């Protein structure tokens, strides 16, 4: 019964009904606590923590994950412990506690390395790369992103690989390494199972802005026009902003 309620909660969360998902997980938790099933309690506490985080209740999310972590330590569930540490790292980072977030991510990485959990290592490396990038430690961020991409390739996680390729592309673009940024973007587009035309258009417009900043106006116009074509086709509200960017670049070319 508890497992069914938890599954229903996950389905509700996937549909965006967070309040109903929380209620179902709380019912599942109550049953697991009644029968003293510690693995179920730990898992449900972690799931509730993620839902609370999605609901903006960060302090509650942290408390729930810390309870889950304590139980996973008690029962020797290393995979669950690593997941708790990763989630706590994300919550601490969202709360602005960067040094603690890094420490938690590194603990999670160490455990997942110990148990050979490559997929979760990739996710943690991706998040660590983001923190390093925000701190201006670009070379470290790039190294972490590349390692994350390599791990995602090992386990065939195309969605994870594409997400990290995008982050790496942004770093290269901000660093004015336009050719590498373009190559990374093309790699992400080659992954057929990820993304959608909206995200592709946003990425193209980003590349257009980079090219414009480098005064490569013809290249900028090429990417912006591609982005505009997609956004207009799907009737996106972002189309007008990109259209204005196209006009601006066209004026720069004429002048």
- On the question of pLDDT at 37 being above 80, the answer is yes
Which residue carries 């603690």 as its tokens?
100
The answer for residues whose C-beta is within 8 angstroms of residue 152's C-beta and 6 or more apart is: 119, 122, 158, 160, 161, 164
Q: pLDDT above 90 covers what percent of the chain?
A: 60
Question: Shortest CA distance to 78 belongs to which of 113, 125, 104, 50?
Answer: 113
Average confidence (pLDDT) over 124-141: 96
Provide DSSP, 72-115: HHHHT-HHHHHHHHHHHHHHHHHTT-HHHHHHHHHHHHHHHHHH
- On the question of pLDDT at 133 being above 90, the answer is yes
Q: Are 86 and 121 in contact (CB under 8 A)?
A: no
Q: Which domains does the chain have, with CATH numbers?
A: 1-113 (1.25.40.10), 178-255 (1.25.40)
Average confidence (pLDDT) over 89-99: 94
Which residue carries 């070379």 as its tokens?
139
Give residue-wise pLDDT tens across range 106-122: 999 999 999 999 999 99
- On the question of pLDDT at 194 being above 60, the answer is no
- Listed as own residue / partner, the contacts of 141-146 with beta carbons closer than 8 Å and 24 or more positions apart are 141/171, 142/168, 142/171, 145/171
Give residue-wise pLDDT tens across range 223-255: 899 889 988 988 888 899 999 999 999 999 987
The answer for residues whose C-beta is within 8 angstroms of residue 36's C-beta and 6 or more apart is: none
Give residue-wise pLDDT tens across range 165-187: 888 988 887 777 777 877 887 78
Instruction: State the pLDDT at residue 193.
Output: 45
Q: Quick one: tokens of 140?
A: 């470290």
């Amino acid at each position: 019964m508890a497992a069914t309620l938890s599954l229903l909660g996950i389905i509700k969360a996937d549909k965006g009904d967070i309040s109903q998902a929380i209620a179902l997980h709380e019912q599942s938790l109550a049953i697991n606590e009644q029968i003293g099933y510690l693995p179920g309690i730990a898992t449900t506490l972690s799931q509730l923590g993620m839902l609370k985080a999605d609901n903006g209740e960060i302090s509650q999310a942290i408390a729930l994950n810390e309870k889950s972590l304590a139980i996973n330590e008690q029962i020797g569930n290393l995979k669950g412990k690593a997941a708790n540490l990763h989630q706590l790292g994300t919550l601490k980072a969202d709360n602005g506690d960067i040094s603690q977030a890094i420490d938690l991510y590194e603990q999670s990485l160490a455990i997942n390395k110990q148990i050979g959990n490559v997929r979760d290592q990739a996710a943690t490396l991706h998040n660590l790369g983001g923190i390093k990038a925000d701190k201006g430690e670009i070379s470290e961020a790039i190294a972490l992103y590349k390692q994350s991409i390599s791990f995602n390739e090992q386990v065939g996680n195309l969605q994870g690989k594409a997400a990290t390729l995008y982050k790496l592309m942004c770093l290269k673009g901000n660093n004015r390494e336009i050719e590498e940024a373009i190559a990374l973007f093309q790699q992400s587009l080659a992954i057929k199972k990820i993304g959608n035309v909206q995200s592709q258009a946003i990425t193209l417009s980003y590349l257009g802005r980079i090219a414009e900043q480098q005064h490569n106006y013809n290249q900028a116009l090429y990417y912006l026009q591609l982005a505009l074509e997609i956004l207009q086709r799907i009737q996106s509200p972002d189309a007008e902003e990109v259209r204005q960017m196209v006009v601006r670049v066209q004026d720069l070319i004429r002048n």
